Structures are given as structure tokens and as C-alpha cells.
């Protein structure tokens, strides 16, 4: 998911900088990928359910996260885009 997010920045965003943040807190993996590029064709803040209903955002990423019980939120504007990815930590036995 990190790879896909960063590759999408490199291919599509026309960004001069990108930032990756990652943390594990309260049983959740939290990943944020942000850039200073042109943003998605849609602008604004969209949660996972809205992205799915409107068929917006990276399809493969949304599908992977849904299988993991996670979600993605996209905040897109000209000059700044942020993907916030969350999913639960699973034990090795799960």
C-alpha cells in the first residue's frame, strides 16, 4: 500500500515533495502519504465510504483495505494531497 501510494505520487501528482508517516497505535496501523502536487481530479475531503459510493480514488488500494477491515481517506486540493490509510493490526495466528 505504501509502495502503491508513493508510485502514484511519482506518476501522477507532478509533486516536488512527498512525505510518508507511519505509526502503530491502539491496534491500528496508520499511514499518511502527502504531497505538494496537483491533487486528484476531485477536490475536497472524502472518507472511504464516499470514495466507494462515488467510485473515486485508487481502486486497488480501496479493495485491499476493505479486505483488511481498514479504510482510506483522501484530502485533495491543488497543491496538496493527503491519503490517510488505517487498518487493524493482526496477530500472526490470525
pTM: 0.88
pLDDT value, residue 31 = 98
- Residues 13-41 pLDDT 10s: 999 999 999 999 999 999 999 999 999 99
pLDDT value, residue 71 = 96
47 part of a folded domain: yes
Q: What values do phi and psi take at 17, rounded to 5?
A: -150, 150
pLDDT value, residue 91 = 56
CATH of the domain at 68: 3.30.565.10
* Dist. CA 86–CA 70, nearest whole Å: 5
56 part of a folded domain: yes
10 part of a folded domain: yes
19 part of a folded domain: yes
- Tell me which long-range contacts 16-22 makes (C-beta under 8 A, separation of at least 24): none
Number of domains present in the structure of the chain: 1
16 part of a folded domain: yes
Query: Can you give the residue range of the structural domain that contains 15?
Result: 2-88
Chain mean pLDDT for the chain = 92
pLDDT value, residue 93 = 52
pLDDT value, residue 77 = 93
93 part of a folded domain: no
94 part of a folded domain: no
Amino acid at each position: 500500500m505504501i509502495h502503491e501510494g508513493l508510485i502514484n505520487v511519482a506518476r501522477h501528482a507532478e509533486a516536488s515533495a512527498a512525505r510518508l508517516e507511519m505509526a502503530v497505535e491502539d491496534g491500528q496501523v496508520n499511514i499518511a502519504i502527502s504531497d505538494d502536487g496537483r491533487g486528484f481530479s476531485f477536490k475536497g475531503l472524502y472518507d472511504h465510504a464516499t470514495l466507494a459510493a462515488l467510485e473515486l480514488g485508487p481502486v486497488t488500494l480501496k479493495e485491499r483495505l476493505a479486505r483488511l477491515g481498514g479504510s482510506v481517506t483522501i484530502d485533495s486540493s491543488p497543491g496538496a494531497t493527503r491519503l490517510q490509510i488505517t487498518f487493524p493490526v493482526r496477530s500472526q495466528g490470525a
